[in-house]
Amino acid sequence: MSITLRYELLAISLLLIIFIFYIVRKKKVSLKYSLVWLFAGGIIFLAAAFPNISQSISKLLGFEVLSNMIFLMLIGLLTLILLSLTVIVSKQKEQINTLTQELSVLKSQIEKLKSK
């Protein structure tokens, strides 16, 4: 890995982490949902800061080229992010259904009280 690429990856990962903390602080995203992004930024930072470890792991796992392992790691991180977003959407869908049902019951009760 060239020194220029290392510096670029370090800068990008730091900017990503700083941006995530910024949007959490502005309450645009809760910390609970930003942990996956912080994890991804940390992995990118560590891979850029210690390329020898990345190369050693790559050779140990049987990858011919370090970039193949990096692509696989990025695909894995994106899959993890998609999975966490799917879980969040599913929970919110259940909450919306529950709230809709409760609202319908309350409206029904209000209509009964008005008709008396």
**Secondary structure letter of residue 22 according to DSSP:** H
Cβ atoms 9, 48 nearer than 8 A: yes
Give exposure, 80-100, as e/b (b: 16+ Cβ within 10 Å).
Answer: eeeeeeeeeeeeeeeeeeeee
Q: What pLDDT band is residue 111 in, cutting at 50, 70 and 90?
A: very high
Would you say residue 40 has pLDDT above 70? Answer: yes
Sequence spans of domains, the chain: 3-85
Separation between Cα atoms, residue 35 and residue 72, nearest integer Å: 20
Per the structure block, which two tokens stand in for 52?
């020898």
pLDDT at 1: 65
The predicted-structure confidence for 53-97, as pLDDT tens digits, reads as follows 888 888 999 998 877 888 888 898 889 888 888 988 999 999 999
Joined together, the tokens standing for residue 112 give 């009964």
